[in-house]
């Protein structure tokens, strides 16, 4: 099953039929209404997330809310994918907590500024394209692991401030309200799409709680969100080498985690909305957003897959939805905090539970027994590591395991068939790629002691890929030379046989050799291939 097929099925689950709009859909009044309402829905979902992640990082809730506003606004304006939502995230917060505990919040602001500059540099160097090296099984593990992380994060809403579980009656009431919210989100699109289903779910549940007078936790029970506009503030840290040594390791880790999560979210949203490209632009946007956030008292952030899925489900397809979400969030902080603080947490938990259902790649469970075993292992491994550690580690582990598996599979493909020519020469017809993984197997295929005086190695069905391959060819040539026998190579790249001729061992028949080039100049510069 191909990547578009699986991701399009994810889209089938999270989009209502009339929301399948092209990225360039005309901006009509109904579309504007949909985009703005989608932004309002996202803003409501951002509030408890930003507060919770601020608590994780051990900073004031407004530090998280300002980050959600600034990062969300700037990435919505200049990001690489319209429809994506960015803000304060848990993946970054768990890294920040140690820096804040050891050095204080001002060092966090300095690290966020440096993190942003690093991300801008990555974007300018166009390194965002390397996200293409993330295999599809890693992508599936990413969405599955993140769905589980989002689910587990909602469980904190069923606890008190000191971490104890709420009384069973309170939990039962919250679960009933969560179910009500989910039912509205599931059922409303079957009747009408005038209002985004998540927004309607929040509104219905809030009205029930207020109308009946139910005593259930609200946003205000987490923390007050009342505040003013973010103020320009250069981090109050000494600008010394010692400060740089403190913040640089954190900045590098934060930049890497932020870019990995953002670029993977960019790919997922792109599959759903039918858009391509924009990786380098997204890196620059994330960097600019974090640099600005660091000097306005924010904790930094990156793309948020949960809120991005809410936006997509609500019909957000343009930059307007992301801009609206950021402006609504600022309005909540400055003028509407009493109203927002009265929203029941159960309503927002219900929205996030629907996000979990829509994000998890359920088809990946069906294909585990059908795909190659190593792909199934990678899917499960990345999912588990994402839950137990963080996204960046999970993706790196998944890519490494996939790369090693690929190298091993190709290493086992090297083989050779032999035959004798009328002139008495033995011909080895090599099949399969010759690279560092298959170099040892290549050397072991030959029998210099028992072969005739003339041996021909035909690379017509092979490809010499790297310096290790050249070294292996030279090692074989040295063995035949020591045995007093002549070795000829055919269908070898011209670059390759020139290097080998310099070693002084080989006679190469180049009349039918191809012109493809290989990355082998390293061997000449270092003298590795000419040292015999």
Residue 85 and residue 307: Cα distance in Å, rounded? 6
**What letter would DSSP give residue 490?**
E
- Residue 160 DSSP SS3: coil
At 392, the pLDDT band (50, 70, 90 cuts) reads confident
Locus of tokens 């060819």 = 473
Tell me the per-residue pLDDT of 394-405, one tens digit each, with 9 for 90 and over.
Answer: 988 999 999 999
297: left (phi over 0), alpha (psi -120 to 50) or beta: left
User: With pLDDT > 90 as the criterion, what percentage of the chain qualifies?
Assistant: 57
pLDDT at 91 (0 to 100): 83
pLDDT at 186 (0 to 100): 94
Tell me the per-residue pLDDT of 325-371, one tens digit each, with 9 for 90 and over.
Answer: 999 999 999 999 999 999 999 999 999 899 889 888 898 898 898 88
Tell me the per-residue pLDDT of 189-214, one tens digit each, with 9 for 90 and over.
Answer: 999 888 889 999 999 999 999 999 99
Asked whether residue 497 carries a pLDDT value surpassing 70, the answer given is no
Tell me the per-residue pLDDT of 75-122, one tens digit each, with 9 for 90 and over.
Answer: 999 999 898 999 998 889 988 989 999 999 999 999 999 999 999 999
pLDDT at 501 (0 to 100): 63
Mean pLDDT of 454-471: 87
CB-neighbour burial class of residue 448 (10 A; exposed 0-12, middle 13-18, buried 19+): middle
Q: Which residue has the higher pLDDT, 313 or 181?
A: 181
- CA dihedral (121, 123, 125, 131) positive or negative: positive
CATH of 412-530, one of 2.40.30.10, 1.10.240.10, 2.40.50.180, 3.30.750.24: 3.30.750.24
The H or E element spanning position 494 is helix 494-503
Q: Which residue has the higher pLDDT, 104 or 470?
A: 104
Residue 72 and residue 94: Cα distance in Å, rounded? 20
Four-CA torsion 59, 62, 66, 72, nearest 10 degrees: 90
pLDDT at 101 (0 to 100): 92
pLDDT at 519 (0 to 100): 38
Tell me the per-residue pLDDT of 32-89, one tens digit each, with 9 for 90 and over.
Answer: 999 999 999 999 999 998 998 898 898 999 999 999 999 999 999 999 989 899 999 8
Letter string b/e over residues 191-203, b meaning 16 or more CB atoms within 10 A of that residue's CB: eebebbbbbbbbb
Look at 13-17, 150-154, 341-345, 362-366 and tell me which has the smallest mean pLDDT. Answer: 13-17
Asked whether residue 520 carries a pLDDT value surpassing 60, the answer given is no
pLDDT at 518 (0 to 100): 41
Tell me the per-residue pLDDT of 229-249, one tens digit each, with 9 for 90 and over.
Answer: 999 999 999 999 999 999 999
In 3D space, the residue among 107, 394, 388, 130 whose CA is nearest the CA of residue 251 turns out to be: 107
User: With pLDDT > 70 as the criterion, what percentage of the chain qualifies?
Assistant: 88
Residue 351 and residue 355: Cα distance in Å, rounded? 6
Residue 99 and residue 247 in contact, taking contact as beta carbons nearer than 8 Å: yes
Tell me the per-residue pLDDT of 162-175, one tens digit each, with 9 for 90 and over.
Answer: 778 999 999 999 99
pLDDT at 249 (0 to 100): 95
pLDDT at 530 (0 to 100): 35
How far is Cα of residue 14 from the mean position of the Cα atoms in its chain? 20
pLDDT at 119 (0 to 100): 97
Q: Which residue has the higher pLDDT, 530 or 398?
A: 398
Please state, rounded to an integer, the average pLDDT across all residues of the chain. 86
pLDDT at 277 (0 to 100): 75
pLDDT at 504 (0 to 100): 54
pLDDT at 18 (0 to 100): 36
CB-neighbour burial class of residue 2 (10 A; exposed 0-12, middle 13-18, buried 19+): exposed
First and final C-alpha spacing in the chain: 50
The full set of domain ranges for the chain reads: 3-9+32-368+376-403, 412-530
CA atoms within 13 A on the CB side of 310: 34
Asked whether residue 1 carries a pLDDT value surpassing 80, the answer given is no
pLDDT at 63 (0 to 100): 96
pLDDT at 232 (0 to 100): 96
């Amino acid at each position: 099953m191909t990547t578009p097929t699986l991701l399009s099925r994810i889209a089938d689950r999270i989009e209502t039929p009339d929301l399948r709009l092209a990225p360039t859909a005309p901006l009509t009044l109904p579309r504007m209404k949909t985009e703005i309402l989608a932004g309002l829905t996202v803003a409501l979902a951002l509030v408890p997330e930003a507060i919770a992640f601020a608590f994780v990082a051990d900073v004031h809730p407004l530090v998280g809310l300002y980050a959600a506003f600034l990062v969300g606004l700037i990435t919505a304006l200049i990001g690489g994918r319209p429809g994506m939502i960015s803000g304060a995230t848990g993946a970054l917060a768990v890294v920040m907590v140690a820096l804040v505990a050891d050095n204080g919040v001002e060092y966090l602001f300095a690290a966020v500024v440096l993190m942003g500059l690093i991300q801008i540099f990555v974007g300018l160097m166009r390194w965002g394209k390397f996200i293409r090296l993330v295999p599809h099984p890693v992508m599936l593990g990413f969405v599955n692991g993140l769905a589980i992380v989002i689910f587990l994060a909602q469980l904190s809403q069923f606890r008190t401030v000191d971490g104890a579980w709420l009384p069973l009656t309170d939990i039962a009431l919250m679960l009933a309200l969560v179910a009500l919210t989910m039912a509205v989100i599931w059922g409303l699109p079957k009747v009408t799409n005038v209002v985004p289903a998540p927004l309607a779910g929040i509104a219905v549940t809030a009205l029930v709680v207020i109308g009946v007078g139910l005593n259930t936790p609200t946003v205000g029970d987490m923390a007050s969100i009342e505040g003013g506009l973010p103020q320009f503030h250069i981090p109050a840290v000494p600008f010394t080498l010692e400060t740089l040594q403190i913040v640089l390791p954190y900045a590098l880790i934060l930049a890497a985690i932020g870019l990995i999560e953002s670029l993977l979210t960019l790919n997922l949203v792109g599959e759903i909305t039918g858009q391509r490209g924009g990786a380098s632009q997204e890196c620059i946007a994330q960097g600019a957003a974090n640099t600005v956030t660091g000097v306005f008292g924010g904790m930094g952030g990156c793309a948020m897959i949960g809120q991005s899925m809410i936006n997509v489900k609500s019909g957000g397809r343009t930059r307007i939805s992301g801009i609206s979400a950021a402006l609504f969030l600022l309005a909540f902080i400055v003028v509407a905090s009493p109203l927002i603080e009265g929203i029941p947490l159960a309503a927002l938990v219900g929205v996030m539970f629907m996000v979990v259902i829509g994000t998890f790649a359920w088809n990946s469970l069906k294909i585990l027994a059908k795909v190659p075993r190593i792909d199934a292992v990678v899917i499960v491994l990345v999912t588990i590591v994402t839950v137990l550690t963080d996204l960046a580690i999970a993706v790196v582990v998944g890519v490494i395991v996939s790369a090693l598996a690929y190298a091993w599979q190709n290493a086992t493909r090297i083989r050779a068939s032999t035959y004798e020519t009328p002139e008495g020469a033995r011909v080895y017809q090599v099949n399969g790629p010759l690279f560092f993984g298959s170099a040892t197997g290549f050397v072991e295929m030959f029998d210099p002691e028992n072969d005739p005086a003339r041996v021909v190695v035909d690379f017509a069905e092979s490809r010499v890929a790297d310096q290790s391959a050249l070294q292996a060819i030279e090692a074989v040539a040295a063995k035949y030379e020591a045995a007093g026998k002549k070795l000829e190579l055919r269908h070898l790249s011209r670059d390759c046989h020139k290097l080998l001729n310099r070693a002084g061992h080989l006679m190469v028949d180049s009349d039918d050799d191809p012109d493809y080039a290989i990355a082998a100049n390293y061997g000449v510069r270092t003298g590795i291939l000419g040292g015999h």
